[in-house]
Amino acid sequence: MPHVTIQHFPLDLAPERKRRLADALTALVVQEFGTYEGAVSIALEPVDPGDWAAAVYEPRIAGRPEQLIKAPEYRR
């Protein structure tokens, strides 16, 4: 505990970028949750843009506003 899942449009992140992302997120989670690095897990979950509304936005964002700590501000 804790586990962080990032759902995102498909993006080919180089191993170095993944490492930097994992390091930065881990450091912040450790600091804010008062835990240790070995307790943190992080997953990247690509979601096709055509599936975003049904797979992510409706069930996980619009469907659970009380769990959001930051809501999206999509550009049109």
Burial category of 29 from C-beta neighbours within 10 Å (exposed 0-12, middle 13-18, buried 19 and up): buried
- Active-site residue, 49 included: no
User: Distance (Å, rounded) from C-alpha 31 to C-alpha 64?
Assistant: 26
Q: Please identify which of the residues 2, 46, 59, 72 carries the catalytic annotation.
A: 2
Catalytic residues: 2
